[in-house]
Amino acid sequence: GIDCSGDSRMCCLKEFFVDFKEIGWEDWIIQPEGYHMNYCAGLCPLHMAGIPGLAASFHTAVLNLIKANNADAAVDSCCVPTQRRPLSLLYYDRDSNIVKTDIPDMIVDACGCT
């Protein structure tokens, strides 16, 4: 994966941190202090689309869906997350109970082209 930097327009990982104190959520979310809502953006070179090796990747289902819905999309490819991890939260619910949970696949660590 490529971290976005400078003026590259390639598919890359854009880091974005939401500080719970800044948005007034620090009273009900005990931990952590914020959420790394990184996301993927940028262009995927055309020659990446339809690479034979892709058939073996786990993006095949996504690519097939795109093909099924939009035939000419097959000549393009998307910048998508390739690595994700859970967001662990300790928070108060509406009954002032204390809840700990891990929300799966909430933090993007790397991006790539399908």
Partner 1 sequence: APKGVWCPACGLSALAPTAQRDVLIALAKQSILSKLHLPDRPNITQPTSRGALLTALHRMRAQRVDTAPPPGMPHDGGIPRLRPGMGVQEYEILSFAESGSSTSRSVRLHFHFTRELAGSTEILQATLYLFWAVPGPGTHPVIVRLLQPDPAGLNTTVASETRLEAQRDVWATLDVAQAIQSLLGQGSQRLTVELEVAEDWGSPLLAVHSDSHRPFVAVQARARTPHRVQRR
Query: How many Cβ atoms are within 10 Å of 44's Cβ, its own excluded?
Result: 19
Task: Work out whether 48 is an interface residue with partner 1 (CB under 8 A).
Answer: no
Among 35, 59, 63, 82, binds partner 1 (CB under 8 A): 35
Count of residues in contact with partner 1, rule CB under 8 A? 33
Distances in whole angstroms, Cα of residue 20 to Cα of each of 24, 45, 46, 74: 6, 37, 39, 40
Q: Which is nearer to partner 1, 54 or 89 (CB)?
A: 89
Instruction: Write the Ramachandran bin of 50: left for phi over 0, alpha for psi from -120 to 50, otherwise beta.
Output: left
**Under the criterion CB under 8 A, does residue 41 sit at the interface with partner 1?**
yes
* Backbone φ, ψ for residue 66 (5° rounding): -65, -45
Looking at residue 26, its amino acid is E
Interface residue with partner 1 among 10, 25, 57, 107 (CB under 8 A) is: 25
Does the protein bind partner 1 through residue 79 (CB under 8 A)?
A: yes
Interface residues with partner 1 (CB under 8 A) are 14, 16, 18, 23, 25, 27-28, 35, 37, 39-41, 76, 78-79, 87, 89, 91-106
